[in-house]
Amino acid sequence: MVKNEDAAGALAALKDAGFDTKEPDENWLHKAAKDGVLVDVITRSEGDLFVDDEMLERVVRTDYKGHPVKLVSAEDLLVMKAVAHEEDTAHYWHDAMTLIVGAELDWSYVVRRARHGTKRMLSLLVYAQSTDLHVPDEAIRQLYSAAYD
């Protein structure tokens, strides 16, 4: 995932590395392929969650098979999963529940980022609370207020 203004540069770097690149009709997804490796260059998630400076400041750096990688924060992934959940992606809801269980979340950031899908996030968090997962009441109050006041 990259900022919209950085997508062309990311594609150029992949092309310079020998990847075949193409830009599908969507303005948020670009593709590159080489030797059976497919790379998606994504600038936004469902619900118009664009990659921005705030999201990039919160990336998590880790190691994957000996290579350093940057991952989106658990909070941003939680919002993405809740907002993008549809009938054909029902597992996103369960993915989001797993994040609530397994991550120490910055709830004020979750509430702020959830402005792109306030009601969807509110419903997820109320459901999570109903299954005895730890979701602060204040997060639910703030999302309810944002959705209905």
Q: What is the pLDDT of residues 75-101, one digit of tens each?
A: 999 999 999 878 888 899 999 999 999
Query: Residue 78: its pLDDT value, please?
Result: 95
26: alpha, beta or left, given left = phi > 0 and alpha = psi -120 to 50?
beta
* 32 backbone dihedrals φ, ψ, rounded to 5°: -140, 145
Q: In which band, very low, low, confident or very high, does the pLDDT at 25 lie, cut at 50, 70 and 90?
A: low
For 44-69, what is the mean pLDDT? 90
pLDDT averaged over every residue in the chain: 91
Which tokens hold the place of 84? Answer: 């993008």
Where are the domains positioned within the chain?
Answer: 73-148
State the residue for tokens 């809740």: 82
For 60-79, what is the mean pLDDT? 94
Query: Residue 50: its pLDDT value, please?
Result: 85
Q: Is the pLDDT of residue 132 over 80?
A: yes
48 by Cβ neighbours in 10 Å (0-12 / 13-18 / 19+) ranks as exposed
State the residue for tokens 């941003």: 76
4 or 35, which is more confident? 35
